[in-house]
C-alpha cells in the first residue's frame, strides 16, 4: 500500500493527465484513478470536487454541462491550454525528482 499523501501531492498531475485524454465528469475521474491504480488509491468525491474547483479557479481546467444521463445532467471537465502547459511543467518536475531519487536510492528502488 502506498501512502495516500504521496498520491495526493500529485493529484493535480493525475487529473490533468486524465483530462488531456478526454473530457470527464467527476465520478468518471474517481473511477479512472481507482482503476489505473489497481484500487490502491480511492479519491473521495468530496476531495475530487475540491481539487477541480481549485484547478478551475486557476484556469487550468474548465467545466460545462453535458447531456442528461440517468435523469440528470453531468458537469464535465476539460483541460485548458494553460492547463496543458502547466501539466508539461509538472511532468518536467516529476522527471527531475525521479532522477534525483534514482541517484540517491540507487539499487534500493529496483
Percentage of the chain beyond pLDDT 90 is: 69
Q: What domains does the chain contain, in order, with CATH numbers?
A: 4-109 (1.10.10.10)
Q: Which residue has the cell 474548465?
A: 62
> What would the grid cell of residue 104 be?
540517491
Q: Which residue has the cell 525528482?
A: 97
Q: What is the DSSP letter of 44?
A: -
Q: What is the DSSP letter of 85?
A: H
* Cβ contact 73:65 at 8 Å: yes
**Average pLDDT, rounded, for the chain:** 91
> What would the grid cell of residue 3 be?
501512502
Distance in Å from the first CA to the final CA of the chain? 17
State pLDDT tens for residues 34-87. 999 898 888 888 889 999 999 999 999 999 998 776 778 899 999 999 999 999
- Is pLDDT of 8 > 80? no
User: Whole-model pTM?
Assistant: 0.87
Amino acid at each position: 500500500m502506498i501512502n495516500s499523501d504521496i498520491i495526493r501531492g500529485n493529484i493535480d498531475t493525475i487529473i490533468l493527465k486524465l483530462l488531456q485524454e478526454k473530457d470527464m465528469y467527476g465520478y468518471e475521474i474517481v473511477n479512472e484513478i481507482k482503476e489505473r491504480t489497481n484500487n490502491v488509491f480511492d479519491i473521495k468525491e468530496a476531495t475530487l470536487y475540491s481539487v477541480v474547483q481549485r484547478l478551475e479557479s486557476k484556469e487550468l481546467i474548465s467545466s460545462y454541462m453535458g447531456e442528461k444521463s440517468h435523469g440528470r445532467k453531468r458537469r464535465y471537465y476539460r483541460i485548458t491550454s494553460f492547463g496543458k502547459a502547466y501539466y508539461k511543467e509538472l511532468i518536467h518536475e516529476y522527471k527531475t525528482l525521479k532522477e534525483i531519487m534514482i541517484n540517491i536510492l540507487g539499487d534500493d528502488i529496483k
